Structure 1
Amino acid sequence: MAITLANIGIAVRDIEEAISFFTDLGLVLAGRDTISGDWADTAVGLDGNRARIAVLDVPDGHGQLELFEYLHPQAIETEPTLPNEVGMHRVAFAVDDIDEALAIAATHDCYPLRGVANYADIYKLAYVRGPSGIIVMLAQELHRGSDTPAA
């Protein structure tokens, strides 16, 4: 059986804020819609499901982020996840310039949880608390040799 990753879905409280954040980082808005109906109720498992969605492409063509803002049933606010909580808690992006990426994030009032780390002189990386509390990892590869595959 062949399998590929279609997208990562993230519920957000303000879809416009999330779209702005991720497009400023370099993702490309591929489309948006408002979904509802029996098919959506069945797929998601919520009666009366209605949500605004936006699909953003990763520029290298290897993935999509699907953002959704629930209109019904009302979104449930929770505390932002912590890095050590079980379950999905972050989305990660490789960037060419982590300082530039962090400056873009800062224009959205999104800052590193603790700072920029150096992992064995291979990566500089930081966890940023993005819109709706999403943890976004930004990683810049430091030294890429000719025989080192891309991340």
Structure 2
Amino acid sequence: MTITLENVGIAVRDLEATIAFFTDLGLTVVGRDTVSGEWTDTAVGLDGNHAKIAMLQTPDGHGRLELFEYLHPDAIETEPTRPNEIGMHRVAFSVDDLDEALEIAARHGCFPLRGVATYQDVYRLTYVRGPSGILVMLAQALRSDPTGVSAR
């Protein structure tokens, strides 16, 4: 069996604001739709499922985010995810200029949870609280060959 990661799906409070945040960081919208009907009820497991969706892609073409804003049933507001909670954790991006990425995030009212850290001499990284409470990790490699260590 072959398996390939297709995308990461995230339910959001405001689709347009979330698209603006991620496109300002450099992702592009590759598709938009409004979905409903029996097939979505079956696939998602919700009766009367109706949502606006957008698919975004990273510039390298490998990473995709599917964002969806529920029209029905009503979205359920929860407390923002904390880094140590079980379940959907965060979405992570490598950036070539962390300071620029943080300036972009700040324009959207999104700031680091605590600050910017340095992992050994390999990465500068931080978690920001993005739109709809999404945890977004931004990491900048400090050398051209980070020796296969992944930013976590």
Counterpart Cα distance in 1 of 2:100 and 2:32: 27
Give, in whole Å, the separation in 2 of the partners of 1:28 and 1:97.
18
- Name the structure 1 match of 2:135: 135
**1:26 maps onto 2:26 in alignment:** yes
Structure 1 alignment gaps of length 5 or more: none
CA distance in 1, matches of 2:52, 2:139: 30
Q: Deviations over 1:94-143 (max 9, x none)?
A: 00000000000000000000000000010000000000000000000001
TM-score relative to the length of structure 2: 0.95
How many positions carry a matched residue from both structures?
150
Partner of 1:88: 88
**Partner residue in 2 for 1:53:** 53
Q: Counterparts of 1:70-109 in structure 2 under 5 Å?
A: 70-109=70-109
Amino acid at match of 2:49: N
Q: Distance in 2 between matches of 1:101 and 1:36?
A: 35
Residues in 2 aligned to 1:3 and 1:104: alpha-carbon distance in whole angstroms = 34
Per-residue CA shift, 1:74-113, capped at 9, x if unaligned?
Answer: 0000000100001112000000000000000000000000
Residue 150 of structure 1 deviates from its aligned partner by 9.4
1:15 maps to 15
Tell me which amino acid in the other structure corresponds to 1:57: Q
Aligned-pair CA distance for 1:31: 1.0
Q: 5+ unaligned residues in a row in structure 2: which ranges?
A: none
Identity %: 72
In the aligned structure 1, how far is the partner of 2:61 from the partner of 2:133? 26
Q: TM-score, normalised by structure 1?
A: 0.96
- Give the letter aligned to residue 122 of structure 2: I
The separation in 2 between residues aligned to 1:136 and 1:73, in whole angstroms, is 26
- Helix, strand or coil: the match of 1:59? coil
Partners of 2:91 and 2:40 in 1: CA distance? 24
CA distance in 2, matches of 1:143, 1:60: 19
User: 2-side partners of 1:95 and 1:38: how far apart?
Assistant: 40
Runs of 4+ residues deviating >6 angstroms? none
